[in-house]
Amino acid sequence: MATATHEATLPRGVGRLTRGWVIFILAMVAVCVLGWVAYIREFSEGMTVTGMRNVGTMGGATWGLYITFVVYFVGVSFAGITIAAVIRLFNLERLRPIARMAEVMTVVSLILGAIAIVADLGQPFRGIVNLFRYARPQSPFFGTFTMVIAGYLFASLVYLWISSRRDAALLAKQPSRLHWIHRLVAAGYTDTPAERERQSRATFWMAVSILPMLVVATSTLGFVFGLQGGRPGWYSALQAPAFVVLAGLSGTGLLIVLAAIVRKSLPRDVGLNQYVFGWLGRVMMLLLFVYVYFMVTEVLTATYAGVDRDQQVTREMLWGEYSWIFWSAVILLVLPLASLVFQALRRRWNVSWLVAAGIAVNLGAIGKRYLIAVPSQTHGQLLPYPEGSYSPSWVEFAVVASLVAFGALVIGVFMKVLPIVEIEDEEVSHA
Amino acid sequence: MVKYAMAVDLDRCQGCRGCMEACKIENNTVESVFWMHVFRLESGEYPDTKMSFLPRPCQHCDNAPCVKVCPVGARFKREDGLVLTDADRCIGCRYCELACPYGVNYFNWAKPEKRQYLDYDHPDVERVTGGVIPPYKNPDLDLLYGEEQRLTAGGGHFKGVMEKCTFCVHRLDKGLDPACVDTCPVQALIFGDLEDPSSGIAEMINDRTHFRLLEEVGTEPSVLYFGGAAPTEDSREIETVKARV
């Protein structure tokens, strides 16, 4: 087959459908379908099919797993574009292989965050219109809905597109089934020196403008919780900074996992070496130090100086109903930290251990997000309501699982359409 | 300018919960929703226990945290002091509920028709009603009220929107008091205009001391409590409203 031989020459496995990839995609589609079934049920029956209920007399939590994952997804997106922008701004050439996948991760997780918000709305269609039509900047949610989803997602998409144009133009020089997509993405770019210069300037200024924007955007998510004086356990100046740090932490962890998968799945070495993983490991280690420090100060303040209801929420978190989540999260954050410190001291980075640490901090981050959202609702009543309880229903689990699967699906498809690792100059001259 | 407020005389309240019932009938709220809730509280250790009652409508705060956080302006403060929800605009994000320290917000988790106390299509119910009594709906609740002309009165409009006590905005429009106030058999609830010196509530403020719930949160509630005492950390509900659906 003529096309097959041509496609075999496309770098980075683009356009080549392996058996493992097809099975993976089908599995992800199956999970997505399950999520749709669950969501259609939620949409037609109302949110009564979720485990969420009103706080107060109904004794429930009104924000649950969906908001936990909104916060988690937006957090993951934070690290991706930060690392991509830092690589661009400081010209960290040896880290370039992870730039593209970091950008893709940002865009995908932001889309997932947006979908998770819509899944959490009682009136989703109204939400999509009214959030823009009647937007109120006074609401801390304005930052999440309007700035994060609209502004930050748009900026990340543009950044991803601009930085992909060159690769698309190079791929478009070769005939393949995906030729039209590559031409479309390249959009007239032909990689002349003048164009390359302009491209470089554009990505530089985009990176400069994205960096402050995403700190603000992720902080607003912390403000959603941190500005609420009437909900014990939420009102804290530390919320926003802790959100940003945990965001960077989970994102870096996920990026390590993604880089390891890409390294395994690509036919030849693409520069994802010890240096890259070591750099990511060190970033994760630093963020872990800061976050563990934040956690200690947070718990200390709440147990030592907190007023009654704050103390009750903290007690419930440390020793009560939520203690298994809290202490699991602590273990999932502290053990990776120990392993990272050990590897840093030895100056040797083991990819398997790094991947394990990456997965662990992500699970820990999800647990911490859950603990920020839920206990303050079930045990943080200022009036003498009885204690509440919340456990997610299968609908919520299915929707969240399908969101994760959808993200994996999009990244999987992206890998086959455009190179997930940037094409280097010498490869171009070979071709 | 009118400035509505509610006074609750805790020395009079006997915890009969008639106001809760009146509210439900007036506003057609669905199962397990209590816009007016009366805490029946106990404090102290046996044998030195004390019992008290605490009616809790929406506090219609002047510095309402729910209004501040609403991302679409569905929850708003009217000039006459009412804090209302526009059921036509609410997107169901439930942020107001989390911002509110009083726990007065109730979300329509399911279709309101499916959360009636009686299933009117059930054969046993139909045998009694003969199919002639439809589920009662207060026709006033579908009208638009206030300068803003928004859909704010009553409950059970749509699934997936937030609802709460409105101080019976549709009754105020006709010059009536809220349903809970009119029902109270011992006049423990008094409603009126703070700006009108001849109103019962203004006189009460002159004659007696009052407190407001959770003053430390800075919400500036429009519900004033006379007599009795605010619940303490020691207060616990004697029997809770079984309200989980």
Give the domain ranges of chain A: 1-49, 50-390
Instruction: Tell how far CA A393 is from the center of its chain.
Output: 23
Place A308 in a pLDDT band, splitting at 50, 70 and 90. confident
CB contact under 8 A, B243 and A230: no
Question: Does residue A385 belong to the interface with chain B, where contact is any CB pair within 8 Å?
Answer: yes
pLDDT at residue number A235: 85
Measured CA to CA, the distance from residue B97 to residue A228 in angstroms comes to 11
* Average pLDDT value for residue range A259-279: 87
Question: Does residue A46 belong to the interface with chain B, where contact is any CB pair within 8 Å?
Answer: yes
Shortest Cα distance, chain B CAs vs residue A131, angstroms: 6
* Average pLDDT value for residue range A372-379: 92
Per-residue pLDDT for B143 more than 90? Answer: yes
Residues 308 through 337 of chain A touching chain B, CB cutoff 8 Å: 308
Which residue in this structure is represented by tokens 């009938």?
A: B25
Give the distance between the most distant pair of CA atoms in chain A. Answer: 75
Q: Tell me how many degrees the CA angle A401-A66-A328 measures, rounded to the nearest 5.
A: 75
The CATH code belonging to domain B4-231 is 3.30.70.20
* Average pLDDT value for residue range A158-171: 88
Q: Please tell me which of the candidates B37, B91, B111 has its beta carbon nearest to residue A130.
A: B91
- Which two three-digit tokens encode residue B184? 């109270």
Residues 202 through 231 of chain B touching chain A, CB cutoff 8 Å: 213-214, 217-219, 231
Chain B residues close to A386, C-beta within 8 Å: 236-237, 240
Q: List Cα–Cα distances, A282 to A93, A338, A359, in angstroms.
A: 17, 12, 16
Shortest Cα distance, chain B CAs vs residue A239, angstroms: 16
pLDDT at residue number A410: 96
The CATH code belonging to domain A50-390 is 1.20.1630.10
Q: Please tell me which of the candidates B89, B219, B245 has its beta carbon nearest to residue A130.
A: B89
pLDDT at residue number A282: 94
Question: Does residue A223 belong to the interface with chain B, where contact is any CB pair within 8 Å?
Answer: no
Measured CA to CA, the distance from residue B23 to residue B34 in angstroms comes to 8
CB contact under 8 A, A385 and B231: no
For chain A, how are helix, strand and coil distributed in percent, rounded to 5? 75, 0, 25
Measured CA to CA, the distance from residue B54 to residue B13 in angstroms comes to 8
Q: What percent of chain B has pLDDT over 90?
A: 73
Chain B residues close to A54, C-beta within 8 Å: 97, 103, 105-107, 109
**In this structure, is the dihedral angle defined by the CA atoms of residues A281, A287, A290 and A293, taken in order, positive or negative?**
negative
CB contact under 8 A, A224 and B95: yes
pLDDT at residue number A425: 65
pLDDT at residue number A426: 59
Per-residue pLDDT for B136 more than 60? Answer: yes
Best mutation site among B59, B96, B107 for testing chain A: the one with the most A CBs within 10 Å? B107
Residues 32 through 51 of chain B touching chain A, CB cutoff 8 Å: 32, 34, 37, 39, 41
- Which two three-digit tokens encode residue A317? 């978190």
Q: Please tell me which of the candidates A121, A230, A308 has its beta carbon nearest to residue B93.
A: A121
* Average pLDDT value for residue range B217-240: 90
Residues 78 through 117 of chain B touching chain A, CB cutoff 8 Å: 89-95, 97-111
Tell which wins on pLDDT, A186 or A331.
Answer: A331
Shortest Cα distance, chain A CAs vs residue B166, angstroms: 18
Instruction: Tell how far CA A92 is from the center of its chain.
Output: 23
Q: Interface pTM (ipTM) of the complex? A: 0.90
pLDDT at residue number B117: 83
Question: Does residue B30 belong to the interface with chain A, where contact is any CB pair within 8 Å?
Answer: no
Reduced to 3 states, what is the DSSP secondary structure of residue A281? Answer: helix
Nearest chain B alpha carbon to A46: B110
Q: Please tell me which of the candidates A47, A141, A308 has its beta carbon nearest to residue B160.
A: A47
CB contact under 8 A, A123 and B160: yes
CB contact under 8 A, A55 and B103: yes
CB contact under 8 A, A45 and B97: no
Asked if A359 and A318 count as a contact pair (C-beta separation under 8 A), the reply is: no
pLDDT at residue number A427: 61
CB contact under 8 A, A135 and B71: yes
Nearest chain A alpha carbon to B215: A230
pLDDT per residue as tens digits for the range B194-227: 999 998 899 999 999 999 999 989 999 999 999 9
pLDDT per residue as tens digits for the range B71-125: 999 999 999 999 999 999 999 999 999 999 999 999 999 998 888 888 777 888 8
* Average pLDDT value for residue range A14-28: 90
Position A173, amino acid: K
* Average pLDDT value for residue range A118-132: 92
Q: What percent of chain A has pLDDT over 70?
A: 96
Is the N-terminal amide bond of B47 cis, ω within 30° of 0?
A: yes
Q: How many CB pairs under 8 A join A and B?
A: 165
Measured CA to CA, the distance from residue B223 to residue A195 in angstroms comes to 67
Give the distance between the most distant pair of CA atoms in chain B. Answer: 57
Per-residue pLDDT for A268 more than 90? Answer: no
Per-residue pLDDT for A240 more than 60? Answer: yes
Q: Please tell me which of the candidates B92, B101, B111 has its beta carbon nearest to residue A230.
A: B101
Bridge partners, B81 (sequence order): none
Nearest chain B alpha carbon to A130: B72
Shortest Cα distance, chain B CAs vs residue A71, angstroms: 14
Instruction: Tell how far CA A17 is from the center of its chain.
Output: 26
- Which two three-digit tokens encode residue B186? 């011992």
Q: Which of A66-70, B141-145, B186-190, B232-236 has the lowest mean pLDDT?
A: B232-236
pLDDT per residue as tens digits for the range B33-70: 999 999 999 999 989 999 999 999 999 999 999 999 99
Residues 124 through 183 of chain B touching chain A, CB cutoff 8 Å: 158-162
pLDDT at residue number A106: 93
Tell which wins on pLDDT, A14 or A61.
Answer: A61
pLDDT at residue number B72: 94
| Residue A127 neighbours by CB under 8 Å, 6+ apart | A117, A118, A121, B91, B92, B93
Domain assignments of chain B as residue spans, ordered by start: 4-231
* Average pLDDT value for residue range A386-393: 92
pLDDT at residue number B126: 83
Among the ranges A223-227, B156-160, B175-179, B226-230, which has the highest mean pLDDT value? B175-179
* Average pLDDT value for residue range A274-279: 92
Place A5 in a pLDDT band, splitting at 50, 70 and 90. very low
Tell which wins on pLDDT, B121 or A48.
Answer: A48
Question: Does residue A145 belong to the interface with chain B, where contact is any CB pair within 8 Å?
Answer: yes
Please give the span between the terminal C-alpha atoms of chain A, in angstroms, as a whole number: 20
pLDDT per residue as tens digits for the range B166-176: 999 999 999 99
Average pLDDT of every residue of chain B = 92
* Average pLDDT value for residue range A111-132: 92
Asked if B40 and B15 count as a contact pair (C-beta separation under 8 A), the reply is: yes
Chain A residues close to B233, C-beta within 8 Å: 308
